[in-house]
Chain A
Amino acid sequence: MTALWAQVFRRDVAMLLTGGRRGGAGLPVLFFLAVAMLYPFAVGPDAALLARSGGGIVWVAALLAAILPLDRLVEPDLDAGFFDQWAIRGLSEEWIMASRIGSHWLTFAVPLMAAALPASALLGLSGEQVRVVMLGLLAGTPGLAALGVMVAGITAGLRGGAALSGLLIVPLAIPLLIFGAGSLSSGGEGGIALTGAVSLVLLAIAPFAAGAAVRAARD
């Protein structure tokens, strides 16, 4: 059982990294950097303005980048019959979704946080702001990954599921955005702690919600 789960997790990481034919882990990161690069072009090179609003832009870009991998988180494997094959091997959908949240975080959030450093430089953030942004992302991205898997599970198998999942994740991610980006103006700890708390709630419910959704889609 544990061995089977470990194999599934390994495959999840490999699948999400390379993405098969659906684009791998690099795409959301490039998108994230592109937004951070475009913003100074749009608002002009006013360093004070950039430094004041840059942290929020990093958060918005992270949220938008989180939409990109949604369509390959659950649906391709559901279509190809992987979930049924795991089910007859006695691996519950909840464990599969837990594996997927972990692998999605590893392949999406870790590269994103690495890319947040050059993005912060592009936006001219100060050292202290970079520290708060990075801590906030560390606290918030697990919740974002859980949310992504949950939304992908719920919309898997629906017509237009990919577009729908993008629309669904945005309002659900607002608490993460408010506390995460808010920690920048309030100076840190409180906001980051609240971001972490939202992440924990999402991590706790996402495997069950996504697992139940996939089981319901099967009947």
Chain B
Amino acid sequence: MAGWASISQIKEKIAEKSAEEVTASYLERIKKSKINAYTTVCEGAIEKAQEIDDKGHNGPLAGIPIAIKDNISTKGIYTTCSSKILQGYVPPYDAHIVERLKDAGAIILGKTNMDEFAMGTSTESSFYGPTLNPWDKERVPGGSSGGSAAVVAAGEAPVSIGSDTGGSVRCPAAFCGVVGLKPTYGTISRYGLISYANSLEQIGPLATCVSDIATLMDIIAGYDSRDSTSVKTEMVYKDALVDDVSGMKIGVPEEYFGEGIDPAVENAVWDAIQFFEELGASWEQTSLPHTSYALAAYYIIAMSEASSNLARFDGTRYGYRSEGDNWHVMASRTRAEGFGPEVKRRILLGTYALSAGYHDKYYLKALKVRTLVKKDFDIAFKKFDCLMTPTMPTPAFRIGEKVEDPLALYLADVNTVPINLAGVPSISLPCGFTDGLPIGLQIIGKHFDETTILKAAYSFEQNTDHHTRRPQEMA
């Protein structure tokens, strides 16, 4: 019963059998999993499903199993950010989106593996070890929401929730051949999302199809008074599911097809863009001239914010705690033992970038670059309805291939980070394969114009069959 399925397919199964049986089948499948995509599995999910069977539930996700990234606070369920330092931490509260999902009747199957504190592009920096790509277990699933993408691709959950600070939903969506949306900054409350880089990140849904993305957005998006950066919108995402791109103006920024792009990726993306033309849209090449500075600015801002966000993990109140004769020794040891190397690298770099004497040279300059990057998009969107690019310059790389070379890993984010700097929405969806590995098409929209990119993605999906391919074991 479990496996690659859409929400509506699951609903049929629930109607046919029961929520309990559906949930049980997923838990069974997770048990047999070889991809290490969950950090915590909720055995209690069965009872929740039984409750829905017994009492009934008229929520839009009644009985639908879902997986949640391990950096989103879940009351009574371990939330560790795949870090040793949060080992054993059981939050006393639910994130805003978890409340909404529960209200809608969703059943939380478990927490998904990720790069430690969402810092990475491969899910290899997890304290629990890497998640394997369901399409090729030698390869990474992408990151940092690697677990969330992999469980959907492997049929271990029909839908999942990730978070995207610099591509962390879209990258694994591309590498795992699923759909992933990074909404406009402010669309989904971050209350309960454990911060890595507050000014950049958004929670985002992952699914096997665009329609499920819209369904999830209608549940999790919306104003929350507990997040001062959340915005009031009256959007109905389901309304965007229209198979019609006629007259749509697509911009294709040349900078996103730069050095290091895999030719197969380039071809697949161009094929997709040309296909949009067949569907009635028009495209034109364009330029986002400050793109080449975006990566550096992104990492400085993200690391600076991270260095401060992660200061609270000192062993005093929760999570892992080391020993020491006094507090300072205890806290230092806790952090030395609790954080992995990539997290430490980013804390150190961020601390450096904010230090007196360097603050203006790095942090302040990065903020200026950010403004310029944003302006690039503003200008482009005066002319175009959306922009299309490869999500990732390459297909999924091999596990271990870039572990020793952080810079190479950072470079992989080149096409995703400018979107977070600008705060605009962007979706990644499958647009082809190379050597059996999925390729992701990125569609970028204007601020709060998820409608256009969902419409484009939906139309593409309705007229192609890339999204119907499954990893071998799934077939």
Q: Do A and B bind each other?
A: no
